[in-house]
Amino acid sequence: MAKPERHATITDVAALAGVSVGTASKALNGRGSLREETRVRVREAARTLKFEVNAGARSLHSGRTYTVGMITTDSIGRFSIPVMLGAEDALGAGQMSVFLCDGRDDPIREQYYVKTLLSRRVDGIIVTGRRAQSRAPIGVGLPVPVVYAFISSTDPGDCSVVPDEAGGTRKAIDHLTAIGRTKIVHITGPEHHHSAQVRSASTQERLAELGLEPAAAPLFGAWSEAWGRQAVGILLTGGADFDAVFCGSDQIARGVVDALRAAGRRVPRDVAVVGFDNWDVMAEAAQPPLTSIDMNLEGLGRTAADMLLAAINGNPSSGRQLCPCHLVIRESTSVTP
């Protein structure tokens, strides 16, 4: 590891170029009125000394750090990651850097991070994560704007960006009916989970709108393959008559297709299956690959970041903003080879 040397300062650059520090600053930032020859000389000196401006000292003046904080409420997981990526993408394009903070579902840790971020004078904060319910605000009267992404704040005055799960559910049901299925059952996660509630309620609602009866009462369980398999067992032994299953997650859906195949039911011929999340490794590796609802989390992250940038620039939004989900069709609902 090379001996870390001291960082060059603008004073060093000015000295090497033979100008005052003010002039050096102007030359490097394209301000003031200077001869081109002087600008070149200063830039040259900066390059020679590997000068990188001290962002901390600079923001002392500008009042902006071009930095935002991202706090996850739960541990960083499968859902928060795409959101983070989208946000990082949108912010990076605006020359902003992201402080990553993993809240671990620990309110104390979370408050510590909020303090740290404020101390570092971030220009704004994005809160993300998965939770059974919406969450309490990370703070009130904070001096910087906050946007909640994927998760939502219980305070309706806060700005939250969340997927339109009800809309996604409608797309799934409409797709199943469009391919001629009428005896649809819904298998999903734990009953206390907000997503499970929304998806299940929207399913019943949409079926009713279409004049259909559910082929069975919705089955609540866990977000796992094992539950998907088990639920199929329950349906089959109960003698339910169904030609389609809409699942609350791709993991459940994968368990479902495996169990159906093991029971001799052909997918999609006898039973069509739709998942939720469009988690590539699950949806594509299933046999057959799964049609699924994609929440477009990366786009959601970008939207959240854009809204945060707007708020930083003085145009705050408030309330829950819904991001559309879209349907990704694969073999579990179509008979292409």
Partner DNA sequence: AGCGTCCAGGAAAAGCTTTTCCTAAATTTC
Partner DNA sequence: GAAATTTAGGAAAAGCTTTTCCTGGACGCT
Q: Are 125 and 138 in contact (CB under 8 A)?
A: yes
* Residue bearing tokens 């971020």: 117
Is residue 88 classed as helix, strand or coil in its secondary structure? helix
By CB under 8 A, is residue 102 in contact with a second copy? yes
| The only residue of 20, 29, 48, 54 in contact with a second copy, by rule CB under 8 A | 54
Whichever of 10 and 87 has its CB closer to DNA, that residue is 10
| The only residue of 3, 50, 61, 269 in contact with DNA, by rule CB under 7 A | 61
Is residue 208 packed enough to be buried (19+ CB in 10 Å), middle (13-18) or exposed (0-12)?
exposed
Angle between helix axes 10-17 and 21-29 (nearest 10 degrees) is 100
Q: What angle do CA 191, 107, 309 make, to 5 degrees?
A: 90
By CB under 7 A, is residue 33 in contact with DNA? yes
Instruction: Count CB atoms within 10 A of the CB of residue 20.
Output: 12
Q: Is the bond preceding 324 in cis, omega lying within 30 degrees of 0?
A: no
| The only residue of 22, 77, 107, 156 in contact with DNA, by rule CB under 7 A | 22
52-60, 134-142, 254-262, 321-329 -> range binding DNA (CB under 7 A): 52-60
The residue type at 38: T
Alpha-carbon gap, residue 5 to 240, rounded angstroms = 74
Minimal distance, residue 61 CB to DNA, in Å: 4
Binding mask 107-136 for a second copy (x = CB under 8 A): --------xx-xxxx---------------
Minimal distance, residue 208 CB to DNA, in Å: 59
What DSSP assignment string belongs to 87-103?
Answer: HHHHHHHTT-EEEEEE-
Contact positions vs a second copy (CB under 8 A):
1-2, 4-7, 50, 52-57, 59-60, 65, 67, 70, 75-76, 81, 84-85, 88-89, 92, 97-102, 115-116, 118-121, 140-146, 157-159, 224-226, 251, 254-255, 258, 281-282, 285, 287, 311, 316-318
Contact positions vs DNA (CB under 7 A):
7, 9-11, 18-26, 28-29, 31-35, 37-38, 51, 53-54, 57-58, 60-62
